[in-house]
Amino acid sequence: MYGWIWQRLPGSTYARAAAMTAMAIVVAAALWFFVFPWAASHLPIDGTAFSG
Protein backbone atom coordinates (compact mmCIF):
# COMPACT_ATOMS: atom_id res chain seq x y z
CA MET A 1 0.00 0.00 0.00
CA TYR A 2 2.55 2.57 1.12
CA GLY A 3 5.15 0.96 -1.13
CA TRP A 4 2.78 1.32 -4.06
CA ILE A 5 2.40 5.05 -3.38
CA TRP A 6 6.15 5.44 -2.84
CA GLN A 7 6.96 3.90 -6.20
CA ARG A 8 4.61 6.24 -8.02
CA LEU A 9 5.97 9.42 -6.44
CA PRO A 10 8.43 11.32 -8.61
CA GLY A 11 11.67 12.91 -7.50
CA SER A 12 14.43 12.15 -5.06
CA THR A 13 14.08 10.22 -1.85
CA TYR A 14 13.75 13.48 0.09
CA ALA A 15 11.05 14.79 -2.22
CA ARG A 16 9.16 11.53 -1.90
CA ALA A 17 9.47 11.56 1.87
CA ALA A 18 8.23 15.15 1.96
CA ALA A 19 5.27 14.27 -0.26
CA MET A 20 4.40 11.27 1.91
CA THR A 21 4.58 13.44 5.06
CA ALA A 22 2.38 16.09 3.46
CA MET A 23 -0.18 13.48 2.49
CA ALA A 24 -0.16 12.04 6.00
CA ILE A 25 -0.76 15.51 7.45
CA VAL A 26 -3.66 16.16 5.06
CA VAL A 27 -5.26 12.82 5.94
CA ALA A 28 -4.77 13.40 9.67
CA ALA A 29 -6.31 16.87 9.43
CA ALA A 30 -9.30 15.53 7.52
CA LEU A 31 -9.80 12.89 10.19
CA TRP A 32 -9.38 15.35 13.06
CA PHE A 33 -11.64 18.10 11.77
CA PHE A 34 -14.28 16.17 9.86
CA VAL A 35 -14.32 12.43 10.44
CA PHE A 36 -13.71 12.34 14.20
CA PRO A 37 -16.34 14.96 15.15
CA TRP A 38 -18.82 13.04 13.06
CA ALA A 39 -17.79 9.70 14.55
CA ALA A 40 -17.85 11.04 18.11
CA SER A 41 -21.44 12.17 17.69
CA HIS A 42 -22.46 8.72 16.50
CA LEU A 43 -20.75 6.62 19.15
CA PRO A 44 -22.26 6.03 22.59
CA ILE A 45 -19.01 7.05 24.26
CA ASP A 46 -20.51 9.25 26.89
CA GLY A 47 -24.25 8.78 26.64
CA THR A 48 -25.61 11.50 28.85
CA ALA A 49 -29.04 12.03 27.39
CA PHE A 50 -31.82 9.81 28.59
CA SER A 51 -32.73 7.07 26.20
CA GLY A 52 -36.24 6.71 27.65
Partner 1 sequence: MRQTLRVTGEVLLTVGVVTLLFVCYLVWGSGMRAASAQRAFASELNTEWAQASKGNPGLTATPGLTATHPALPERFTVATGQPFAFIRIPSFGQNWRFALIEGTALAQLNVSPGHVPGTQWPGQIGNFAVAGHRVTSGNPFWSLPSLKPGDLVDVQTELNDYTYRVIGQQMVAPDDVNVLDPVPGHPGQQPTRRLITLITCDPAWTGTHRVIVTGVLVSAEERLCTAGSGSGCPGAPTPGPPR
Binding site for partner 1 (CB under 8 A): 1-3, 28, 31-32, 36-37, 39-41, 44-52
Q: Tell the smallest beta-carbon distance from residue 20 to partner 1 (Å).
A: 13
Amino acid at 32: W
Of the pair 12, 38, the CB lying nearest partner 1 is at 38
Cβ pair 7, 13 in contact under 8 A = no
SS3 12: coil
Q: Tell the smallest beta-carbon distance from residue 21 to partner 1 (Å).
A: 14
Q: Tell the smallest beta-carbon distance from residue 13 to partner 1 (Å).
A: 20
> In this structure, what DSSP letter does residue 43 have?
S
Residue 7 belongs to what H/E stretch?
helix 2-8
